[in-house]
Structure 1
Amino acid sequence: MLKAVILIGGPQKGTRFRPLSFEVPKPLFPVAGVPMLQHHIEACAKVPNMKEILLIGFYQPNEELSRFLLNAQQEFKISIRYLQEYAALGTGGGIYHFRDQIVSGSPEAFFVLNADVCSAFPLAEMLSFQKEHGEPNSFVILGTTSNRKQSMNYGCIVENEETNEVLHYVEKPSTFVSDIINCGIYLFNPDIFQHIGTVFQKNQQDMLLEEPTNGWHRAEAIRLEQDIFTALAGQGKLYVYKTLSFWSQIKSAGSAIYASRLYLNQYHTTHPERLASNKEGGPRISGNVYIHPTANIDPTAMLGPNVSIGTGVTIGAGVRVRESIILHGATLQDHCCVLNSIVGWDSTIGKWARVEGTPSDPNPNDPYAKIDRKGPCCDQSPQSTTPCIG
């Protein structure tokens, strides 16, 4: 029996996603036509013997989140629960705080996924890898390759090339360590809580030696990457499975457009029904485009490639949209042009207006590269761009 944990963070995080995150919790922002979290949940629900998906974060439960979870449970026929942290506890502290909920029912293993990643989610492959390459009680990190400069913005992994054991792990090093980077998707078994518990006890002891502060919860604020993986590396317990499929982070609005492109391309094999096609009396479609059935689009409009049209959107005559996300209720009046942009909820783009963000494409010889070499999947890159938000 398996479980999955999705770490969704909270309102204090995701500041680089503003102003979009003011309107909706970042994990529910639509990417390629569906909430960001739905891609994770769908991937987890496909894994055989997956019995429950737990969301951990410190968002206040609200109607929008509750409605999403209810709809997801009904669609994917799996138990989905939200566990609210009392404070930001970090990637390790959150799962340690709710360890009893995670190990309830005695799962053999469980996945941990960060909500702000875009991926093909090769979860079944990670399970097979664990059985073939690691010991039964080993832990697996999903990794991918990057270039030397980009890699320093991520957790870097040095592996034994024959066994794939993680020999050394450094989070965001100041100098080049390895071109294998951490994708923020993990496969654990319940033994991981022993290692997290050791860090928790050490934090408690360290706090006793310090002057009392208001940060009484700090002992439970534990980071998987810096506090756990660094210590486990080289002990024969931690392995890396390197994926050749696409992967990117979703840290900013610009990276959401890039993630939308990756997911829309994946729809050819996973959800072809979500991709629009050229039909008589409909708009002209170029490349991968998602259009919600409630959208009203003039047949003289041209959409694509990489365009996502939300609920209740109105698009007038002669409108051109490319590399953009149009959120629900927006109106694009006649002959306007929207490029490399996100048009906000219930916004209006006037007639003949031009809204254009800075394009940031991957290597032209690799149109669906795993990592955007020019930056929107990593905000700390010097070439990182910010899209225009209507």
Structure 2
Amino acid sequence: METTHRQTLRSNILAAHGADIAQVEELLAYSENVFAQGRLNLPLNFPLESELHVATWMQYAAIAHEIGTFEALKQRLVQLQFPIQAGISQTEAYRIVTRKGGLTDQMPEATGLVLQQPDPLELLIHQSLAGAIPVLIVKHRQDFVSLVQALAMRNEPKLVPDSMGACIVSGFNNWDRIRQYRKQWETANPIAASDNDWAAEFQRLAPQKALYQDRFIILSDGFYSAITASDMGLEEVEWRRLSLIIRLEHECTHYFTYRVLGSMHNHLLDELIADYRGIVAAAGRYQADWFLRFIGLESFPHYREGGRLQNYRGQPPLSDGAFKVLGALVQAAARNLERFDVNYRSELKHPHQEALVTIALTRLTLEELASEAGDRLLQTVCFELATGF
């Protein structure tokens, strides 16, 4: 529970950035730090051990090397055996396959997912601070949209914004892993292996989600946040290369906060932290101007319509006045983060230290990061956490 003193400080910071009383209340609720509710058990050793599903995806990667990524995954991930079609997730055939493990053989609905450029699709197992995680890299924009819709939106043609170039899929029920589990169980129990016996075993399996639920990342190799190379002052090839680095580290940071703190949200503080890690990975240091361009505040206080900031307006959405104050907060927080990085980048030479800064950022609120002492507050939290490593 946040102390009254801390809430008063946050209120004063909001007022200093132009918020009136009503906007202060809006923004206090909006920027409540959900990370602080997560349990942090130190010390931790980084990188963390990989989750169980990674071993299966390593098998997929080996098969993909032989027959191609799309063909390898299409044989194992049942969603890829259906097209993108409005209402398909509500059909009996789709439910039988995705909820009960039915086979698509002789199902007229299972016409398969169509990709424009399936051959360049790439699967890699990336080692992050939070452990290894499967990553799909998609070279064609429409193919990225189709894969996100198939694997994260139950094959429904839901909107994928142009500014969205990555998706982390969590809680994915992998029926291929369940079938592998059943084969191993039948081998170990050759006598008691009837359909009824398996039904009982399946009930025991269901609560053990780590045995059949996967987590993986889908990445587009397009320009990050739909920002052009000319806007970045870079050649297209170089900006595409850097965009992929930023995007991958950004998603791995969400994965990190999920595994370490049990929290991964579609929220501006999450985005600030994830973009910090992504920019550092790509540029070797944090550049606030990059982040502000990504979210549409490159000409602060003017906001560019279509920037990512509007994607994190909250539910219910912030009022226009509160949204303007939010932009001021984010701009100040980014500048403070850059000052912190300039002063301490040379000291961050070990994965534990990089992890420590990421965790420290989750301990503060947007208001605190945007305060005049934001960079020093972050330094203090890093110091306090360091004793736990």
TM-score exceeds 0.5: no
What's the TM-score once normalised by structure 1's chain length? 0.28
What's the TM-score once normalised by structure 2's chain length? 0.28
Which has the larger helix fraction?
Answer: 2
Which has the larger strand fraction?
Answer: 1
Higher relative contact order (CA 8 A, sep 6+): 2
